Amino acid sequence: MEAYTDFAKVYDTFMDNIPYEEWAKRICELLSEYQIEKGLVLDLCCGTGKMTRLLRDHGYDMIGIDLSYEMLQVAMEQDSQNILYLNQDACEFELYGTVQAIVSCCDSLNYITEPKDLQQIFALANNYLEARGLFIFDMNTPYKYEKLLAQETFAENREDCAFIWDNYFDEETRMNAYELTLFLEQEDGMFARHSEEHYERAYSLQEVRALLEGAGMEFVAAFDGYTRGVLREESERMLIVAREKQMEGKYYE
Q: Name the helix (H) or strand (E) containing 137.
A: strand 129-140
CB 105 within 8 A of CB 23: yes
Residue 69 CA to its chain's centroid (Å): 16
Q: Nearest CA to 168 among 190, 152, 186?
A: 152
Q: Please state, in angstroms and rounded to a whole number, the distance separating the CA atoms of residues 155 and 177.
A: 16
Burial of 253 (0-12, 13-18, 19+ CB in 10 A): exposed
200 forms beta bridges with: 176
Task: Give φ, ψ of 237 to 5 degrees.
Answer: -140, 140
| pLDDT at residue number 252 | 44
Task: Give φ, ψ of 31 to 5 degrees.
Answer: -60, -45
Q: What is the pTM of this model?
A: 0.93
Q: Please state, in angstroms and rounded to a whole number, the distance separating the CA atoms of residues 198 and 171.
A: 17
| pLDDT at residue number 6 | 75
| pLDDT at residue number 38 | 93
For the CA atoms of 99, 244, 95, 30, the dihedral, rounded to the nearest 10 degrees, stands at: -40
Q: What is the pLDDT along the chain (253 residues), one digit of tens a residue?
A: 456 667 788 888 888 889 999 999 999 999 999 999 999 999 999 999 999 999 999 999 999 999 999 999 999 999 889 999 999 999 999 999 999 999 999 999 999 999 999 999 999 999 999 999 999 999 999 999 999 999 999 999 998 999 999 999 999 999 999 999 999 989 898 999 999 999 999 999 999 999 999 999 999 999 999 999 999 999 999 999 999 987 655 554 3
Q: Please state, in angstroms and rounded to a whole number, the distance separating the CA atoms of residues 122 and 86.
A: 19
